[in-house]
Amino acid sequence: MTHYPEILSGLITGRHKWLVTGAAGFIGSHLAEALLSLGQEVAGLDDFSRGYRENVSFALTHSSFTLIEGSITDIDTCREAVRGCDYVLHHAALASVPESLADPVSYNAVNVSGFVNVLQASREHNVKRVIYASSSAVYGDNETMPKVEGITGKSLSPYALTKYMNEEYAEFFTRVYGLECAGLRYFNVFGPRQDPNGAYAAVIPRWISAVESGNVPVIYGDGTQSRDFCAVQNVVKANLLAAASDEAPGRVFNIGCGVRTSLNELLGKIYAVFAPGREALCVHEPPRDGDILHSSASIELAQRVLNYSPSVYLEEGLSIIHDYQA
């Protein structure tokens, strides 16, 4: 368990009921863990197509947690899940750029139609606010650095397009129906319980798994491409800040650390934590379609409106993963 009460002290006033969609996934399970540690009531919705029961094993016997097994693609399941909830933290999604290029139909069905189901159910049941996961992928081919919320480019993948559509639908539901929605554009989130397996796994858990097992990590490209790596603890903090801020509805916010790290630098940091003393070896393969070269977040808007600031940076985040796995 992560020391969430210390990080999140004072961010929630009173006791509320929260729905976390995708609760058995990486980010969703951390949200559920944090809310329970803060004395909140939590309903978790997951169809276990991508999430794992062991991710919520800590919650299954908790008296304040209810697990609902089902998909956001079913409107009646969404209605059941949101009933009686004050807040919805929406994190159920398909989330791979390469996979979305291979299967845009599934990505639209889950990420767009499923999201509209969550919004409609929340509207019908008078949910106070929906906080939803967007992505830095919405910046597409725009080369402005750091990324600023009002400047985006053409989408480079169906995944990116679905997240852009989420933002448009959320703004519409806020403006037309009065359902308070706020979006968080995540930048390369990492942390404990992130799945290292599969062809489309995120780079940090994939490389940690390779290094720990004595294999050589793969870099797609020359390794000079860079990302803003954001520990999951910061994401949890941002969700609760967005739920509390009177100025959040109808807006989207970058959630990152505002620090850019190249993949070559990241590889060295992973070896230093998980295989100290070993040479940082890697294999280079051609770049993947849909991947951008550089990404870092301007977090000025989140700082100003949400009072957001990162609590955990890359090196500490890697150490937290190491200690969690020990």
- Mean pLDDT value across residues 24-41: 96
What residue type is 120 in one-letter code?
Answer: Q
Q: Which helix (H) or strand (E) holds 44?
A: strand 41-46
| Residue 91 forms part of a structural domain | yes
Q: What one-letter code names the amino acid at 307?
A: N
Q: Supply the mean pLDDT for the chain.
A: 95
Q: Which two tokens stand for residue 5?
A: 């009460």
Q: How far apart are CA 284 and CA 222, in angstroms?
A: 7
CB atoms within 10 A of CB 301: 17
Residue 210 has pLDDT above 90, yes or no: yes
Cα-Cα-Cα-Cα torsion 275, 26, 16, 136, nearest 10 degrees, comes to 100
What b/e sequence results for 149-158 when a residue is b if at least 16 CB atoms lie within 10 Å of its CB, and e otherwise? beebeebbbb
Q: How far is Cα 182 from Cα 43, in angstroms, rounded to an integer?
A: 20
Quote the distance between the C-alpha of residue 127 and its chain's center. 21
Whether residue 85 is contained in a domain is answered as: yes
Flag whether 200 is in a domain: no
The 8-class DSSP code of residue 217 comes to: P
User: Alpha carbon of 10 to those of 7, 159, 191, 242: distances in Å?
Assistant: 9, 35, 23, 14
Confidence (pLDDT) at 151: 95
> Beta-carbon neighbour count of residue 296 at 10 Å?
22
Is residue 214 included in any domain, yes or no? Answer: no
Distance CA(136)–CA(25), nearest Å, equals 19
- The average pLDDT across 44-73 equals 97
Average pLDDT over every residue of 93-113: 96
Is residue 45 a contact partner of residue 19, using CB atoms and an 8 Å limit?
A: yes
Check pLDDT > 90 for residue 144.
yes
pLDDT of residue 2: 60
3-state SS class at 34:
helix
Helices assigned H by DSSP within the chain: 4-8, 26-37, 75-82, 97-102, 104-107, 114-124, 158-172, 203-212, 232-244, 263-274, 300-301, 314-325
Per-residue pLDDT at 1 exceeds 70: no
Using DSSP, state whether 42 is helix, strand or coil.
strand
Instruction: Judge whether 22 and 51 are in contact, CB under 8 Å.
Output: yes
Is the predicted pLDDT of residue 122 greater than 90, yes or no? yes
Q: Which residue has the tokens 């539901």?
A: 173
Q: Would residue 304 count as lying in a domain?
A: yes
Within 80-224, strands assigned E span: 87-90, 129-135, 180-186, 189-190, 218-220
What is the CATH classification number for the domain harbouring 153? 3.40.50.720
Tell me how many domains the chain contains.
1
Domain span at residue 136 reads 4-187+230-258+295-312
Distance of CA 2 to the CA centre of its chain: 17
Q: Is residue 199 part of a domain?
A: no
Contact call for residues 91 and 27 (beta carbons, < 8 A): yes
Question: Rounded to the nearest 10 degrees, how much is the dihedral formed by the CA atoms of 47, 188, 253, 27?
Answer: 30
Q: Are 306 and 242 in contact (CB under 8 A)?
A: yes
- Per the document, the length of the chain is 326
The reported pLDDT for the residue numbered 289 is: 82
Task: Map tokens 């002290």 to a residue.
Answer: 9
For residue 114, give Cα distances in angstroms to 74, 106, 138, 252: 7, 11, 18, 19
166: which 2 tokens?
């989420």
Confidence (pLDDT) at 3 = 62
pLDDT tier for residue 292 given thresholds of 50, 70 and 90:
confident
In a domain, 170, yes or no: yes
In tens, the pLDDT along 238-271 reads 999 999 999 999 999 999 999 999 999 999 999 9
Of the two residues 43 and 5, the one the predictor is more confident about is 43
Q: Residue 10: inside a domain, yes or no?
A: yes
